[in-house]
Amino acid sequence: MFTKRAILGVAAATAVAVTLSACSAGSSDAASGDVDAATATSVADFGGFDGLVKAAEAEGELNVIALPENWANYGKLISLFEEKYDITVNSSNPDVSSAEEIQAAENLKGQDTAPDVFDLGSAVTLDSLEYFAPYKVETWDDIPADYKEESGLWVYDYTGLMSIGYDADAVPAPESLEDLLGADYKGKVAINGDPTQAGAAAAAVNLVALQNGGSADDIQPGIDFFEQLNDAGNFLPVDPAPATIASGETPVVFDWSYNNLAEKKANEGQRNWQVTVLPGVAVGSYYNQAINVDAPNPAAARLWQEFIFSDEAQNLYLEAGAYPVRLAAMVEAGTVDQDALDAVGEAPADLVQFTAEQTEAASALLAEKWAAAIQ
């Protein structure tokens, strides 16, 4: 399921939201056939939103990668995009990591099956800028400056809280990190992937560091805790997936809140899957959107970007329990799905999001120390 990725904060309020439909109303009728979609940096290069839609529908396909249907509502998002624009979405390798997304772009460069767009953790994003094409969506001004690359190479999209999902029939509810070291959790505690490759797994280590005497500038205590967990026989080196949760193979899983909430819903009536966010400091981490500079369907890639930053798509992230990056702007504009927001609740006041520099430093330390810690 979840071998995807990594970082957070809820956006500060800025400009009034601009919806796709509002933007479309002002579009010109410029002929999309004259547009070089591969170099377009905004909808204006297509003569307006209608021109972008025309160019994307002419391509007729979009290749996405690493988008599990149960991850932040991507199943609904893909279906809605196909329905609105009559474009077929080819979803390949939904369970790969951020690093593997970039590797796929490299391996498939020049082929029709190469990914058009990426959904990446921050560490891999910052290390892969040469793979991205600059593009600014129409709702660009709603997104705080710190949450996007200035030319549009990448932009934050959604985040959750690092949480613990657990089978309440197999283990007691964990109330602290110390609990996880006890006999009740022998061989039962997993994280979502390899933290040197997957953002979600790295964020689990970051959370543990912050709750174990470390800081965003020093995640060594997080690595130390997992080494202790491994020495106690409680660390489970299995990459969790819906099947492993449903079968009981991974009874305790560190993962994003929206993923664990999706598992709670998926296992209703079958497994007593519960979700908790440990008291104290919390960790979030936005996932980043970017367009493949060698996208085989460059117009469809840009239309997808416009779509996922629209009110409609941002509310679908929220419906799944993820905080969309335009949340503050949508609240101010009155376009947020209030029922969904009420269900998710406010983000904790002491929520930590690592900066780009902290992410790079943490990633380097994990690369150096993780393998030895859990061997």
What percentage of the chain has pLDDT greater than the value 90?
80
Residue 14's pLDDT band (boundaries 50, 70, 90)? very low
Using 50, 70 and 90 to split pLDDT, how confident is the model at 4?
very low
For residue 8, pLDDT beyond 80:
no
Would you state the pLDDT for residue 197?
86
**CA proximity to 90, closest of 111, 72, 113, 57:** 113
What is the structure's pLDDT at 25?
31
- State how far the Cα of 357 lies from the Cα of 256, in Å rounded to an integer: 22
Report the distance separating Cα 153 and Cα 246, nearest Å: 38
Q: How many other CB atoms are there within 10 angstroms of residue 230's CB atom?
A: 16
**What pLDDT digit, counting tens, does each position of 17-65 carry?**
222 223 333 333 344 457 899 999 999 999 999 999 999 999 999 999 9
Q: Are 167 and 271 in contact (CB under 8 A)?
A: yes
Cβ proximity of 321 and 344 under 8 Å: yes
| 266: DSSP letter | H
Q: Which pair of structure tokens corresponds to residue 280?
A: 């104290």
Question: Which of 25-29, 49-53, 76-80, 358-362 is the least confident region?
Answer: 25-29
Q: How many CB atoms are located within 10 Å of the residue 316 CB?
A: 23
Query: What is the distance between the alpha carbons of residues 348 and 337, in angstroms, rounded to a whole number?
Result: 20
- CB atoms under 10 Å from CB of 183, counted, come to 8
Q: Give me the chain's average pLDDT, please.
A: 90
Structure-derived torsion over alpha carbons of residues 12, 218, 284, 131, reported in degrees to the nearest 10: 90
What does 153-212 look like in DSSP terms, one character per residue? S-EEEEE-BEEEEEETTTSPPP-SHHHHTSGGGTT-EEESS-TTT-HHHHHHHHHHHHHT
346/62: higher pLDDT: 62
For strand 351-352 and strand 282-283, is the pairing parallel, antiparallel, or unpaired?
parallel
Query: What pLDDT was estimated at residue 33?
Result: 56
Q: For 325-334, write each residue's pLDDT tens digit.
A: 999 999 999 9
Residue 335: CB partners within 8 Å, gap ≥ 6?
17, 19, 311, 315
For the segment 141-151, the average pLDDT, to the nearest whole number, is: 95
At 304 the pLDDT is 98
Q: Give the span between the Cα atoms of 291 and 43, in whole angstroms.
A: 14
Q: How far is CA 44 from CA 24, 273, 312, in A?
A: 11, 47, 21
Q: Could you tell me which residue, 14 or 175, shows the higher pLDDT?
A: 175
pLDDT at 21: 29
Phi-psi region of 48 (alpha: psi -120 to 50; beta: other; left: phi over 0): left
pLDDT(349) > 60: yes
Read off the pLDDT band of 105 (50, 70, 90): very high
Which pLDDT score, from 0 to 100, does residue 282 have? 93
Residue 143 predicted with pLDDT over 90: yes
Question: How would residue 347 be classed by pLDDT, with cut points 50, 70 and 90?
Answer: confident
Helix (H, G, I), strand (E, B) or coil at 23: helix
Mean pLDDT to the nearest integer, 67-80: 95
Q: Tell me the pLDDT band of 198, cut-offs 50, 70 and 90.
A: confident
Residue 238 tokens, joined: 């299995």
143 vs 132: CA distance, rounded Å: 19
CB atoms within 10 A of CB 367: 13
